[in-house]
Structure 1
């Protein structure tokens, strides 16, 4: 069975005001698809947690079976920015530093928040801020946060296709009044169809700014990605599982350097092995990245990777799959 499918669902993080994970990714993204941060706080996060969180900046999530949207008592003090993630080690983003990339804002102004939809899930977004007088030289705790969100949005509108840096939910919201100086905006995205919840810290300065970002090596809008295509084919089946091959193609007139294919596993599906690419999983999200030897795709060129799966329903073609090249 052969099927070419639409962009995948996955997860997300604040683009405006940018989360630590996103802005560290943006700080380090190179023309070859590598992520090499220049910011010292981002470098310290990599030294502690490795590079995997940079490539999965949208996956600061936790689904430990608690009620969706868990905060105090669910995420421990000192681990707010990592969400105490049980996907990857994001603990480096809990580190104390004055040098995190920062977004400059005006207290009381209305801005358009943008939250990347590497996933298209129903749910509610809640935004909190640190209290006046919080001490940024100490690990962030719940006692540092205002307990009531300054804004919430349920199932807001969105633009773009999931699985892209350029796709996002958006809503207009007034910023807290009478704020000045350095603060953290804390985002909680609680899915309504799952206990899975996503968390993020956005470092901001209330100094009369209009969304300018400092502390990163690049300026201007977030980097864009170039689309590639992914075609998923089941090549063999057996009771409780099967084997598949995914063909990655560069449809553009320019050479692409590196590719990433993502899709959401059907309920109960498990990937047992993969080859010709690097597999990572975060909950139901499966991601395969190019190997060193097959990362360069000439114009019109293609390559393949393979995998084996197990499921009580047998081999299953995903309902959606996405491909992008930096």
Structure 2
């Protein structure tokens, strides 16, 4: 077993370090709490945030376990004991979908919505294996009170807020994580941070700087909740950390080498018109998992011809920005095995039709 130590969370201002390898598996690759006022540092930036992902600095359980498990051949074979247990409980699909710990009905809810014992999965049963109370999860080493650079992977494009919490003093990672273990208020609140890189890649991320809580020592969990501002979709994550004077080094993960940038699945989307009339038409889109790994969700986006608008849509969750349409899977049709497919339909009002037959599709 090879356990690597890597620097993933650097003190701010960050400085480039000569010799650091560019990696596709970057280790250097939260959340509107609706009923409680957000306290702490608020970071504002021009332009909306655009993401669908998970924390990279400090790395979440799903992200670090994916890194631990991925082999040079692109297979999932966890080495870390906690990650291996997560695979035994939930299978390999969550490792390929490390950026999808979400609830489409979350609406920023936390206490009273996500059950005790299911905080790390957000109550999403696809990720139950990552809720296990253990003291051997991959671990990020930090210094209490330090100002550091955070980053959150941006796999898809959605605006939103990030709220960052930490566990109370005396936290025991070997005991079931409950809401009573989490401090009542976030120590950091981030309003639509800037996006670096292109969504749909491991390298794309939201980044911000903030101060870690003072007076912390020993093992803790940094808990992030991220709510989209354009829908109820909410993301949840646990990052296991230890406040021991570290600068973001990560221990407890296996590093198999330098694999090329892995793609956590591939999909295609084809559109056909199923009916038309004066002033409108109806379409059906078929989404197919064209990759060789299972996936938990998909996204399809396209631009409507000028003068047209979607009047109704079913079997998917849509976001509209002008003529741009983005559709995510519904709760029941996102999980597709290789070769599997799902459909959604919509009705358009407006002149003319749409001759488009192939639409952009992304896993997530």
What is the TM-score when the length of structure 2 is the normalising length?
0.67
Pick from 25, 31, 45 the counterpart of residue 72 of structure 2: 31
Residue aligned with 2:242, SS: strand
Query: How many pairs are equivalent?
Result: 283
* Aligned counterpart, 2:299: 263
Partner of 2:30: none
Structure 2 gap ranges (5+):
1-49, 276-281, 302-309, 317-327
Tell me, yes or no, if structure 1 residue 179 matches structure 2 residue 216. yes
| Aligned 1:148-163 pairs, distance under 5 A | 148-163=185-200
Among 104, 118, 137, the alignment partner of 1:63 is 104
The 5 A counterparts of 1:167-316 are 167-218=204-255, 224-225=261-262, 233-234=270-271, 236-239=272-275, 240-242=282-284, 262-264=298-300, 268-270=313-315, 281=329, 283=331, 309-313=344-348
Change (3 A) 1:172 1:10: closer
Name the residue aligned to 1:5: none
The 8 Å contact of residues 10 and 118 in structure 1, kept in 2 or not, is answered as: yes
Alpha carbons of structure 1 residues 318 and 183: separation in structure 2 relative to 1, 3 Å? farther
2:177 counterpart (140, 153, 159): 140
Alpha-carbon shift at residue 163 of structure 1 (Å) = 1.2
CA contact 2:299–2:363 (8 Å) conserved in 1 = no
Whether the 8 Å contact between 1:263 and 1:287 is mirrored in structure 2 is no
1-side partners of 2:237 and 2:71: how far apart? Answer: 23
Cα distance in 1, alignment partners of residues 142 and 236 from structure 2: 21
The CA distance in 2 between the partners of 1:220 and 1:183, in whole Å, is: 29
Q: What residue number does 1:4 align with?
A: none
For residue 48 of structure 1, what is the aligned residue in structure 2? 89
Instruction: Give 5+ residue unaligned stretches, structure 1.
Output: 1-8, 249-255, 272-279, 292-304
Tell me whether 1:91 sits opposite 2:132 in the alignment: no
Aligned equivalent of 2:13:
none
Residues in 2 aligned to 1:39 and 1:144: alpha-carbon distance in whole angstroms: 25
In the other structure, the counterpart of 1:76 is 115
Distance 1:238 1:155, change over 3 A: same
Give CA deviations for 1:222-268 in whole Å, capped at 9, x if unaligned: 9734799987554x4323444669898xxxxxxx9989995336972
Per the TM alignment, residue 192 of structure 1 is displaced from its structure 2 partner at its CA by: 1.1
Which string of whole-angstrom CA distances, capped at 9 and with x for unpartnered residues, describes residues 91-146 of structure 1? 11110111100011111111111101112211110000000112222110111111
CA-based RMSD: 3.7
Check conservation: 1:107, 1:178, Cα contact below 8 A: yes
Distance 1:117 1:100 in 2: 23
SS of 2:84's partner is helix
Cα distance change on mapping 1:139 and 1:318 into 2, 3 Å: farther
Q: Deviations over 1:60-114 (max 9, x none)?
A: 11123x5x211111111111101002xx521111101111000111111111111
